[in-house]
Structure 1
Amino acid sequence: MERVVLRYKNSIISGLVINELNDLVTIKSSNGYNLTFDRSEIEFLERKNVEYQNQRKMEEIEKGSGSKKISVLATGGTIASRVDYETGAVSPVSDPELIFGGSDILSKFTISVKPIMNQFSENLRPSDWITIGERVAEESRKADGIVVAHGTDTMSYTASALAFMFEESRTPIIFVGSQRSSDRPSSDSRENIEAAINFASTDFGEVGISMHRSTSDGMVSLIRSVRSRKMHTSRRDAFESIGTPPVGLYDGSIRFLGDYRHVSDNIKFRSTMDDKVALIYFHPALSADDLENMIEGKHAAVIMGTGLGHIARDLIPVLKRFVSNGSYIIMTSQCIYGSTNLNVYSTGRELLSAGVIEAGDMVPEVAYVKTMYLLGQYPHEDFVDLFRKNMRGEILERDQPFESLKLVG
């Protein structure tokens, strides 16, 4: 790794080189921000190789004096890290005092921070979802609430997987991430995790995501995991509740906006997932050969079709053969809002005749996770009926857009 000092116009800037590509130079500046320059516009004043330091191991720690016990399970990602801009090391943060600073959270709760893994979320696999679920089930037997610190990029996948795994939970399960690490002045981590811990102290018996409500400080949303989606690459309000308001808000106190499943006296946890499921984004150049390669050896495929749920007609025979061999095709939409409807146009009716199953207004990533869960847990002859059931709030009733649904376990 290379540390540099450069001149750009009338400014002297120092930082670590991230990459030099196509006459562009990107550095991590000493204040934590990534800056990209045209090579012709800068002058290097100093370039020096520095040794990359290995990540320090996160240790378990317990602090606080409150009566309610909250377990914070760290899996990695931005929220669980801070950057040493001199060496380039990314170090995990485990001390709640470093996370909360002047907050009174440690006087309200007893917080145990426990590492599960230390991975950026793009590296997590379905087997990791199961590991996280098992640890959540274990901790929920002795804590009053569970918070899972997770990278934001695939947090909706993991949180939705746990939503299906936990038919009943005796504690809230709240996922939390941040867009900016805790050492940066503009970090959203402190408010997000403070809100998550407060949400985890309630009787919310589901799996939710705690993230900034807007780009400004002061309000954090609790989003039902199976209606969540990361909508922006870098903004602090990156997560949105799709098609329905968030379940709750936190601005120093908690306000629930609708109904939710309450905590149970029992834990019903079923973790087996079938990972032989494809998630495919249809595009105009998708060929029959490409589609066949994508679904070969899979037990099901979730397709993100256009509009109401369409793909090119010449691909339908491929899907028909796949379904005739006992596998499943689920049709979702690339549109963020609205529902599939395969009865409107002739292409949709042909898809229905080929055995394609509509996902309605399910978020495509959630339909994908739900398919993996159902195929891993239930006889295949029950799949279609179970897929169409609203199990965890993943399906909306359009005539009741501002009310939560009655959930079936």
Structure 2
Amino acid sequence: MAWRGPTYRTVDGERIDGVWCHVWRRGDFRGEYHVDDLVLYADGTVVCGEGMDLPGLKRLLDAGRLALTPPDTPVRVDDRSKWESRWGEPRTPESFLLEVADQVEELNGRPTAARRCWDAAGRYAREPSEANRELLRAAYLAVPQHLRVFVLGDMDLQDRPLRILLTDVGAHVDGDGPLVTAEMHERGLDYFRRQAEAIAAAEQRRAALHADDPVTAGRATVTSHQGVYPRGWPAEPGLFMLRNEFPAPIAYGGETYASVLHGYWALSAADPADRARIREAPSGRDAQERGGGVVRREGWTGLRLAVMADLLRAKFTQHPELGAVLLGTGDARIRYTGYSDSPFWLDEHDDRGRNWVGRLLELVRSELALAQETQGISQTQGNHQTQGIRQTWGGQGTQEPQGVHITE
């Protein structure tokens, strides 16, 4: 049984992330078990036929209304000693409840039992005191019993380094394993020291490779929704200016288009007569309807992203007031939604949505910011050069040298 995801539900406009797994649920009438989805959310809500919390899940497991394996599954028999066994302990309702609680921690971005065990092992390796050893023991036992063998992610040694460290010198590991010596303890400590060094080196390398990642959280996502205005455009359209159907004349390729949609669909047409008819459409959506029914120019699929990017650049550079609206979104992710465009351009909730308009808007925004900064640098450098000329030729109030023109 494995957890799958992602999934989510929305509560009061807030997205609550979740994961799900298969369980076997007993029917109310015949008493037969059938496979069902158990969905777990970050707020601790569990849904399996009905909604419940973690205590409610425990009651269903205790009553036998939910099972973790098919009822007719044969019990696995492992005759080997615990030390030699390669299997984890059986999953029980009690250990499953610990696993569910651990999943809630992970969904909320908090340390899981496995992470806390690793941290305790690292602390004990750095300072091998008896107090830290007891903290490690508590952290290891907090890992769900059926998952302890996998807690280190080591396919060869599994959790044996931990079990050795938690066994007293002179005692047998698990009662039937090897006799623990001081040298074995030292090797166990060295195992975690080497792991800590490897993790530190990997994090240092990742920090160098990801040095251009933002160090703080960006602004909240901006969503550009499609809208309908039968009585005309609002006096302050706001973020609707980002829409491709927003009327903003664009000069591009020797022609003028009334909106991005006019330009995009006209340029997609193979026949010049169709292009003219699309260009003259009364609105952007009319242009889209006209363009959607004509023969496409050859290779359009490979050209369309570049054309859309060019049209968006033209729109926001030729209309500075629109460029200011786009820059006003800061570093926010832009979701472009709607019901008239193809999923290729929109941010849909399934894997069809590519959000290419939103992504291109973010690209153009970055280009506008760069142009703005470059212009500011150029102005600053010009002012410094002017001041330098004044100082070179006699300082304040002196006559400018012949052939040097200074622009304020």
One fold, TM greater than 0.5?
A: no
Choose between structure 1 and 2: higher strand proportion: 1
Q: Which has the larger radius of gyration?
A: 2
What TM-score results when the alignment is normalised by the length of structure 1? 0.21
Q: Which has the higher contact order (CA 8 A, sep 6+)?
A: 1
